[in-house]
Structure 1
Amino acid sequence: MLQVCLNGARTRAEFAGLPVSPAELAAEAVAAVAAGASDIHLHPKESGGADSLEPAVVAAAVSAVRDAVPGVPVGVTTGAWAEPDPARRVALVHAWTVLPDHASVNWHEDGAQDVAAALLGRGVGVEAGIFSGASGADGADGAAKFRASALSSRVLRVLAEITDTDPATASGTARALLDALGPGPILLHGEDGGAWPVLTLAATLGLDTRVGLEDVLVLPDGRVPAGNADLVRAARRLTS
């Protein structure tokens, strides 16, 4: 499976064409799915570009994308930067009026298990984000914390997120995290300089992966993409 991550916590200062509004997210989703993406991850944003978990913002983004690409799973973030208070994050999940198909939960964040439980209770799939650098150099502590959780067997998949941006070492960091995680459904991806090497490794290992403006702003040859669809096409070439 190739997921497209449409925008992330980035701003238009980083990429002028970053999709922010529901209509922009929908247009990028259509292009990315046409290019070969089969799953969508997005960050709902307020009009000013900040990530938001507010029910109206989530509903507008998810509804627009779902209407544009019917049948394609749509997921959102629950990152603590969008709402630092764990109890408030849980309350917002309970208040959502339109539910995504899945949502990512960064397991190293305070309140992660409560957020995951709230999502599961509402029938939303959980992508458990385990960062390579979140606890320990290779993420082993974070992986152990996840494996020990009573919710670990209930998640949709693990997002093995490689924060090592050095293209020379990112793949090795990825292998160390995979060893720490053990078997199970895993989506492996990197970011910035590590994005393309880690995506190539995921393809070699037969793992799900993702690409999009959240993770990387350049193509494998260093050129700037027009948008997410260019990144998806490049990923398809590397993984075929």
Structure 2
Amino acid sequence: MVQVSLNGSRTAADGAAVPMSPEALVEAAVGSVAAGAAEILVHPRTPCGRESLSPRVAGPLLAALRAAVAVPLAVSATVPGEPDPVGRIHAWEILPDRATVDLAEPGAAAVAAALAERGIAVDGVLRPGPGGGPAPEIPYARLVVELTAADPALLRGPGGTVVYGRGAAAWPVFRMAVAAGYSCRTGIGDVLHLPDGRPARSNAELVSAATALATGLGGCPADQGRARPA
């Protein structure tokens, strides 16, 4: 399974490939699904580009994405500076299928519990390292592991675990994770270059490269989602 991170913490300063507006994110999602993405991860943003869990920001974006693609949608529920993430989650009228929670962040348990109460699957983000590891009191449905290097000693997690790297680590980690049988993540939110070092022009181009690489390594990506007809 290849998940695509459409925007992550990127801003317009990171280049024209970063989709910023809801319209650009929908276009990126449609292209990514057509290229082989089986899940979409998005960071909802206000018109000024600030990440937000506000139902007035997340709701319309999720509605537009759901009308355009027929794959599971995930949002990041760990937003720096969000004043009341639990309250925001309980105020959502349009729900994502999944939400990521950084297990190391203060308040992660409360956020995960709020998501679970709304029936949203929790993806617990773990960054292995000294003293690292998921907090056992935090409920999560799936583990998402971010690695800074393609080190097999850091590769861990049960079936269904999603593994990814950022920047220079992205493609080496991807290759290692596919070879080990894990689901993987790519996208502008994580990496701005293709496996051969060329700048990526879009999320779809990254997903296409990822699925081709997975196939070449013997991986078997999940059935591709299909864009819904207009």
> TM-score w.r.t. structure 1 length?
0.86
Q: CA deviation at 1:183?
A: 3.1
Deviation at 1:150, TM superposition (A): 5.5
In structure 1, the residue matched to 2:192 is: 217
Match of 2:19 in 1: 19
Summarize the Cα distance change of 1:76–1:101 in structure 2 as closer, same or farther, 3 Å threshold: same
In structure 2, the partner of 1:114 is 110
Once the two structures are superposed, what CA deviation does each residue of 1:121-146 show, in whole Å capped at 9, x if it has no partner? 0000100000235xx2xxxx331x43
Aligned twin of 2:144: 159
Q: Which runs of 5+ in 2 are unaligned?
A: 216-230
Deviations 1:59-96 (A, max 9, x none): 01111111110x3100000123151x4xx111111111
- Asked if structure 1 preserves the Cα contact closer than 8 Å seen for 2:159 and 2:182, the reply is no
Question: Equivalents in 1 of 2:121, 2:5: separation in Å?
Answer: 16
Partners of 1:106 and 1:7 in 2: CA distance: 17
Question: Which one of 182, 200, 208 corresponds to residue 233 of structure 1?
Answer: 208
1:171 to 141, 146, 150: 150
Contact 2:75-2:98 within 8 A present in 1 as well: yes
Q: Residues 227 and 105 from structure 1, CA distance in 2 versus in 1: closer, same or farther, beyond 3 angstroms?
A: same
Distance 2:203 2:79 in 1: 25
Q: Distance in 2 between matches of 1:82 and 1:40?
A: 24
State the identity as a percent.
43
Poorly superposed stretches of 4+, deviation over 6 Å: none
Cα separation, 2, equivalents of 1:56 and 1:82: 17
Higher fraction of helix: 1
Unaligned runs of 5+ in 1: 165-169
Secondary structure of residue in 2 paired with 1:142 = coil
* 1:37 aligned partner: 37
Does the aligned pair in 1 maintain the 2:52–2:79 contact within 8 Å? no
Partner SS for 1:19: coil
Q: CA 1:44/1:237 → structure 2, altered by over 3 Å: closer, same or farther?
A: same
TM-score (norm 2): 0.89
Q: What's the CA shift string for 1:14-59, capped at 9, x where partnerless?
A: 1223112221111100000000001000000111111111111000
Q: How many pairs align? A: 215
Measured in 1, the distance between the counterparts of 2:13 and 2:171 equals 22
Q: 1:92 aligned to 85, 88, 106, which one?
A: 88
Where relative contact order (Cα < 8 A, 6+ residues apart) is larger, the structure is 2
